[in-house]
Amino acid sequence: MTNSNYVALAIADGLATIKLNRPEKANAFDGEMWLALEKVAEEIRLNREARVVILTGEGKAFCGGLDLNQAATEGVALGPEAARGGFDTLQYVSKVFTLYERLPVPVIAVINGGCIGLGMELALVCDIRLAADTAVFSIPEVVFGLVPDCGGTQRLPRLVGPAMAKELILTGRRIDAGEALRIGLVNHLYPAEKLFEEAKKMAAEIASHSVQAVQASKRCINAAINNTLDAGLQFETALALSVLGDKADKMLRS
């Protein structure tokens, strides 16, 4: 089981729990966290026990974004696979986030506090977002002369619409949990002390259903976002038949 200094994974009773663990830095990203998240994604993908994932942060923050102080003084060490240049490095870090979007099992972001910059982009790759009613959200890269480069400009418009995404990204302003719920950035809000309990209830509800049906449904919904309606319908039919298996002909002919 992966347990780096900054990311912990536990799998029990069908639930995989990932915890970002730099509370003294608001769980801000450094290179070790990226590398650990990549390993965790692969471990979950290969683990047949895991049926639902909860992704959260230790302490009072979900994720405060990039550790700017460390990046300015030491850089972001990501290993040889990301050392060929700026474009390749950004492609690598973006790919790590995409691994979570493409996990076969549903991923629930449990946003227990600040969800800023890279933290917001990480939450966007999750299938469902639950937040504490005290959480705050921001994607402030433009304030620092940067572009959201881990999918923020692509996923946020798909979730909240182009106009609202432009407002949030181009102003870099911070919004509270109520506003996040209103614009559809999060699914539900809960008091902070009940957040994880409610997330586990939802995870258990999902895990109680057919593994094949849940995973096929996630793939179909993801396909709907990136394809035409006709292509999505074809994909849906193919996966629905694969889940039915040998029962398909009998059910459809009766």
Annotated catalytic residue, options 42, 81, 121, 193: 121
121 given a catalytic annotation: yes
Q: Which two tokens stand for residue 97?
A: 């986030």
Q: Which candidate, 178, 175, 168, 174, places its Cα nearest to that of 132?
A: 178
Neighbouring CB atoms inside 10 A of 52's CB total 23
141 given a catalytic annotation: yes
Q: Degrees (nearest 5) of the Cα angle 113, 185, 106?
A: 85
Q: Which candidate, 189, 131, 126, 130, places its Cα nearest to that of 159?
A: 126
- Kindly provide the b/e burial profile for residues 113-147, where b requires at least 16 CB atoms within 10 angstroms of the residue's own CB: bbbbbbbbbbbbbbbbbbbbeebbbbbbbeeeeee
Q: Which candidate, 152, 159, 160, 173, places its Cα nearest to that of 222?
A: 159
Annotated catalytic residue, options 58, 74, 141, 193: 141
List, by residue number, the catalytic residues.
Answer: 121, 141
